[in-house]
């Protein structure tokens, strides 16, 4: 029987493991299907983690985390978790791919989320070399330059506003002429002189060269093409929350979720199920930053310790 099972080895899972084991929990396993580090390891640069002034690749930045976080006994199992369910005695059943399983007194879910891709030509080729899904992370690289923000939801419009404070101009490219974003945000975007709305267009392709992205070609409903010459394109077309392990056999979720599939938690990272915690990008209203995920993980680790000990 595990004292605590941590699912996911990104910043949230690693921090949860550090705090739970350093606080005294003895049998703590972090189930991470790949190498620990999480989605930031796909980023070319991180420069906004306080205390780390050197600009590092995501991979280099996370390199020292596993060793430090495992110093107090956290174990890493390179397994994919397929489902978490609750046993009648209050413990948790952790189903693993391949048919094996574990039992744990407490569980911290840290499986993260992934920005969706829009699937236009050149998106993958120039990802990390002009195409980005994170304005907080990469906006600064386009200071006083023109960029595209793609999408019509709250994220696209809010991030377009954020980028307008850094960039000389933001083209907000959307496939329709109405937005999903909240009315007040739409109003702010429409009144922002640095944002040009490019509506009713589909993205044809992103183009560039060895140095990176040079622009985006969009096409309107009549087939007219427009070449938007920019070094940066930010894709904000929704997020995939990695919540499938919480889905039960009957299709319901183990704990309460919001309408977008984010796990509902309180300020202590408690879910609606006792002994089940969620931390990082998977939880409701996550700021989707490494430092925030690490903070959540630490909180959840402390709470799991409290839960198991009492
Ligand atoms: P994740 O980092 O997503 O980790 C989740 C882990 O869970 C993954 O390792 C995954 O393999 C594992 N997992 C998922 N499902 C299972 C399963 N069923 N079984 C086992 N393991 C599983 N933030 C910043 O602060 N600064 C930046 O500059 C920055 N740049 C970014 C650039 C890019 C390209 C991206 C994509 C994100 C960036 N972010 C940045 C955001 C940051 O990476 C995330 O907010 C942070 O990683 C979230 O941490 P997490 O631990 O919640 O989840
Ligand atoms: P979203 O609401 O799902 O919006 C995604 C947008 O991307 C839509 O406008 C969609 O167009 C467009 N899109 C989807 N696939 C595309 C593709 N392949 N090519 C081009 N465009 C594409 O996603 P989100 O903005 O990330 O928001 C997710 C949820 O979080 C929403 O419920 C949102 O309200 C919430 N959120 C809230 C806040 C806040 O409260 N401040 C902030 C951010 C997010 P269509 O409209 O045509 O479908």
Spacing, Cα 110 to ligand 2 middle (Å): 23
Last residue of a domain, one of 235, 258, 277: 235
Distance CA 80, CA 146 (A): 41
- Residues 59, 87, single domain; the answer is yes
Query: Domain limits at 91?
Result: 2-114+239-309
170 ligand 1 Cβ < 6 A = no
Q: Can 4 be counted among the known catalytic residues?
A: no
Spacing, Cα 13 to ligand 1 middle (Å): 10
- Residues 33, 72, single domain; the answer is yes
Ligand 1 atom 35, closest CA: 40
Exactly one of 4, 137, 167, 255 is catalytic; name it.
137
Q: Which of 137, 233, 265, 298 to mutate to test the pocket of ligand 1 (most atoms within 8 A of CB)?
A: 137
137 ligand 1 Cβ < 6 A = yes
Those residues whose C-beta lies under 8 Å from the C-beta of residue 29, and which sit 6 or more positions away, are 2, 4, 5, 6, 74, 75, 76, 77, 102, 104
Q: Is 45 exposed, middle or buried (0-12, 13-18, 19+ CB in 10 A)?
A: middle
On the CB side of 113, CA atoms within 13 Å amount to 26
- Residues 247, 192, single domain; the answer is no
Are 246 and 84 contacting, i.e. CB atoms less than 8 angstroms apart?
A: yes
- Residues 197, 245, single domain; the answer is no
Q: Can 255 be counted among the known catalytic residues?
A: no
Report the chain (310 residues): mean pLDDT per 10 consecutive residues: 98 98 96 94 81 90 95 97 97 97 98 94 96 90 97 93 96 98 96 98 98 97 97 94 96 96 97 98 94 98 97
Q: Can 138 be counted among the known catalytic residues?
A: yes
- Which numbered ligand comes closest to the C-alpha of 204? 2
Q: Compute φ and ψ for 71, nearest 5 degrees.
A: -60, -25
175 ligand 2 Cβ < 6 A = yes
Which DSSP symbol is given to 52? -
Instruction: Centre a 10 Å sphere on the Cβ of residue 229 and count the other Cβ atoms it contains.
Output: 9
On the CB side of 1, CA atoms within 13 Å amount to 9
- Residues 207, 298, single domain; the answer is no
On the CB side of 238, CA atoms within 13 Å amount to 10
Of ligand 1's listed atoms, the one at least distance from the Cα of 113 is: 3
Which DSSP symbol is given to 71? T
80 ligand 1 Cβ < 6 A = yes
Of ligand 1's listed atoms, the one at least distance from the Cα of 36 is: 9
Instruction: Centre a 10 Å sphere on the Cβ of residue 227 and count the other Cβ atoms it contains.
Output: 12
- The pLDDT assigned to 44 comes to 67
Q: Domain with 128 in it: what CATH number?
A: 3.50.50.60
Q: Compute φ and ψ for 142, nearest 5 degrees.
A: -115, 30
Last residue of a domain, one of 235, 254, 274: 235
Last residue of a domain, one of 235, 261, 287: 235
- Residues 40, 106, single domain; the answer is yes
């Amino acid at each position: 029987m595990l004292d605590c099972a941590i699912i996911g080895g990104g910043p949230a899972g690693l921090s949860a493991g550090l705090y739970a084991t350093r606080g005294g929990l003895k049998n703590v396993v972090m189930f991470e299907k790949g190498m620990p580090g999480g989605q930031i390891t796909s980023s070319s640069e991180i420069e906004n983690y306080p205390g780390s002034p050197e600009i590092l690749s995501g991979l280099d930045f996370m390199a020292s985390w596993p060793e430090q976080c495992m110093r107090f006994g956290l174990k890493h199992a390179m397994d994919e978790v397929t489902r978490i369910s609750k046993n009648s005695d209050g413990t948790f059943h952790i189903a693993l791919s391949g048919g094996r399983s574990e039992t744990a007194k407490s569980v911290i879910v840290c499986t993260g989320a992934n920005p969706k891709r829009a699937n236009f030509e050149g998106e993958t080729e120039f990802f990390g070399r002009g195409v980005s899904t994170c304005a907080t992370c990469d906006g600064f690289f386009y200071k006083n330059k023109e960029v595209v923000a793609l999408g019509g939801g709250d994220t696209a419009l809010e991030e377009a506003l954020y980028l307008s404070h850094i960039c000389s101009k933001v083209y907000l490219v959307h496939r329709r002429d109405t937005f999903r974003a909240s009315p007040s945000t739409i109003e702010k975007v429409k009144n922002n002189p640095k944002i040009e709305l490019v509506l009713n267009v589909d993205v044809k392709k992103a183009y560039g060269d060895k140095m990176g992205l040079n622009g985006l070609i969009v096409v309107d409903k009549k087939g007219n093409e427009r070449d938007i010459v920019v070094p940066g394109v930010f894709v904000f077309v929704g997020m995939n929350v990695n919540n499938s392990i919480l889905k039960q056999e009957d299709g319901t979720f183990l704990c309460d979720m919001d309408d977008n599939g984010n796990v509902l938690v309180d300020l202590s990272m408690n879910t609606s199920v006792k002994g089940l915690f969620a931390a990082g990008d998977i939880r409701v209203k996550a700021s989707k930053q490494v430092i925030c995920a690490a903070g959540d993980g630490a909180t959840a680790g402390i709470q799991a310790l409290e839960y198991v000990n009492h």
